[in-house]
Amino acid sequence: MPVLRHFLLAAAVFATGAAHAATEACPALLDHTFPRLQDDAPQSLCQYRGKVVLVVNTASYCGFTGQYDGLEKMYAKYRDQGLVVVGFPSNDFGSQEPGSNKEIADFCRLTYGVKFPMFAKSDVTGAATNPLYRQLASATGERPKWNFHKYLIDRGGRKVLSFPSTTPPDSRTLVNAVERALAERP
């Protein structure tokens, strides 16, 4: 019996250590959970550790809304190399995202065929800024000034680049940055 108890204690210590190591492996920048746009199911950004993450605040009724198409093409082209595009709809600029999460999800899927992960509508600027956007602004010194601002996070979750709304997904500047980030290993 003492051998079994010792074995169980050792297994518990190992499991606790493994869980702690897994938690530590998630970079602080990605250590957030947000509701998914389609169904409000909580999704941890830690699932993207080791990937290059392009974070974009989106809106359905904006002059830049057509960028959904380019973002989806970029995601499809580079996803197997480790890129994930994540969208955060926001009504912060010009009230250009007035719909419900379901309406936004339907619009993205039906109009642009969006398959990249989208999260529930949230604030990306102001007093109620979601915690990821607060960290991204702090890391880069740049807050979104409009819809479709982009942040590129490296595989290690440490280096962040910022791109204004006027930088389309197919711009050489953004594509080069994505390709460089994909070539780097954490």
Express each pLDDT in 124-142 by its tens digit.
999 999 999 999 999 999 9
Q: What secondary structure letter does DSSP report for 62? A: S
Residue of 26, 46, 62, 108 marked active site: 62
Given a cut of 60, whether residue 11 has pLDDT beyond it is no
Taking CA 135 as the corner, what is the angle to CA 28 and CA 119, rounded to the nearest 5 degrees? Answer: 85
Active site residue 46: no
CB burial class (10 A; 0-12, 13-18, 19+) of residue 130? buried
Identify the three-state secondary structure at position 83: strand
Alpha carbon distance 116, 118 (integer Å): 6
The CATH topology of domain 27-183 is Glutaredoxin (3.40.30)
Give 13-67 pLDDT, tens digit per residue.
Answer: 444 444 444 445 899 999 999 999 999 999 999 999 999 999 999 999 999 999 9
